[in-house]
């Protein structure tokens, strides 16, 4: 089972962080149209996790996703990390996001992905809040260490049911593979950019579950600039030291030039489906249940 997902927040973040530079909007529009066209040509339907504010400020982007037959999931309202929020803040954020998305799509939104995969050991209560808000499916567990998120020690990287204090969600963890004894991701973000195509292709073909995740910014050949100290601290909520900013710059820009070619090659190699479609193929009555 090969699942294709996108995390979509670019236009909104550009607007609130940089005032909406026309050149960046044009880049996002161009790559978005290209992705939709290439998915259509390949006969692939994907899941697009969108921030609620995208539906508020750029509803035409949500409509295009729906018109092309793809699933719309929730990626929070304002792209705030869940491990930086209280329970009440998350509840408000989620309900506002769902209303905005559902007002545009005309459909109930039941799938969710946290920004930066920010469901961790320290905020297990997220499961209860999301469930209370009507979320049924989550794709936020990154079952190893990572910056600003990650759930080290999570017992598997295949679909399962997670529960906490009586609340349950169907979970789609990020896929991992072992390199020199270390568990790493390979199917999205900076990991996908760093890994050669042959490695991603071979790894995916040897697994019966892969979930790929992309941002539009990952697929644009032009990289981002080094963030200012103030911009870094405003967004990441941690000290904007030169080391931290350089680390983020390298991770954001490494091997960005050939990413779209690799992405398009993967589209040709695998029969991707959306999370919605995968629901028909999983025996949820026999998958592992994991108490957080």
Domain with residue 138: its CATH number is 3.20.20.370
- The answer to whether position 225 is within a domain reads no
Helix H or strand E segment including 54: helix 52-57
- The answer to whether position 287 is within a domain reads yes
Helices (H), 168-257: 189-194, 197-205, 229-236, 242-253
- The answer to whether position 81 is within a domain reads yes
Spatial separation of the C-alpha atoms in residues 76 and 88, rounded to whole Å: 14
The reported pLDDT for the residue numbered 249 is 46
Q: What is the mean pLDDT of residues 275-289?
A: 95
pTM of the entire structure? 0.88
- The answer to whether position 245 is within a domain reads no
Helix H or strand E segment including 275: helix 275-278
Length of the chain: 292
State the total domains in the chain.
Answer: 1
Q: What is the pLDDT of residues 57-110, one digit of tens each?
A: 999 999 999 999 999 999 999 999 999 999 999 999 999 999 999 999 999 999
- The answer to whether position 233 is within a domain reads no
Q: What is the pLDDT of residues 127-157, one digit of tens each?
A: 999 999 999 999 999 998 877 678 988 999 9
Q: What is the pLDDT of residues 156-209, one digit of tens each?
A: 999 999 999 999 999 999 999 988 888 889 998 888 888 888 999 999 999 999
Of the pLDDT bands very low, low, confident and very high (cuts 50, 70, 90), residue 264 is: very high
Domain that holds residue 184: 2-218+257-291
- The answer to whether position 223 is within a domain reads no
Q: What is the pLDDT of residues 244-257, one digit of tens each?
A: 555 554 455 555 55
C-alpha dihedral sign at 269, 65, 13, 31: positive
* Residue, of 221 and 133, whose pLDDT is higher: 133
Spatial separation of the C-alpha atoms in residues 157 and 142, rounded to whole Å: 8
- The answer to whether position 31 is within a domain reads yes
Terminus-to-terminus CA distance in the chain, angstroms? 25
- The answer to whether position 6 is within a domain reads yes
Q: Which residues contact 13 (CB under 8 A, 6 or more apart)?
A: 79
């Amino acid at each position: 089972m090969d699942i294709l997902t996108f995390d979509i927040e670019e236009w909104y973040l550009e607007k609130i962080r940089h005032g909406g530079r026309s050149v960046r909007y044009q880049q996002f529009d161009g790559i978005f149209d290209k992705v939709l066209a290439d998915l259509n040509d390949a006969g692939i339907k994907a899941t697009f996790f969108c921030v609620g504010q995208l539906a508020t400020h750029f509803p035409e982007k949500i409509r295009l996703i729906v018109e092309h037959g793809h699933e719309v999931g929730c990626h929070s309202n304002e792209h705030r990390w869940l491990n930086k929020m209280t329970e009440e803040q998350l509840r408000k954020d989620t309900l506002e996001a769902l209303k905005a998305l559902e007002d545009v799509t005309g459909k109930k939104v039941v799938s969710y992905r946290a920004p930066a995969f920010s469901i961790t050991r320290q905020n297990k209560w997220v499961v209860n809040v999301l469930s209370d808000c009507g979320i049924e499916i989550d794709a936020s567990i990154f079952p190893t260490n990572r910056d600003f998120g990650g759930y080290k020690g999570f017992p598997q990287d295949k679909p399962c049911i997670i529960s906490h204090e009586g609340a349950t969600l169907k979970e789609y963890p990020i896929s991992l593979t072992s390199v020199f004894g270390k568990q790493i991701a390979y199917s999205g973000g900076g990991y996908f950019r760093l890994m050669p195509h042959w490695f991603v292709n071979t790894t995916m073909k040897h697994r019966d579950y892969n979930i790929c995740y992309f941002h539009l910014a990952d697929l644009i050949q032009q990289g981002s600039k080094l963030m200012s100290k103030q911009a870094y601290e405003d967004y990441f909520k941690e000290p904007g030291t030169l080391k931290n900013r350089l680390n983020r710059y390298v991770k954001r820009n490494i091997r960005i030039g050939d990413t779209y070619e690799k992405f398009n090659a993967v589209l040709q190699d695998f029969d991707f489906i959306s999370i919605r479609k995968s629901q028909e193929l999983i025996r949820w009555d026999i998958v592992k249940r994991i108490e957080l």
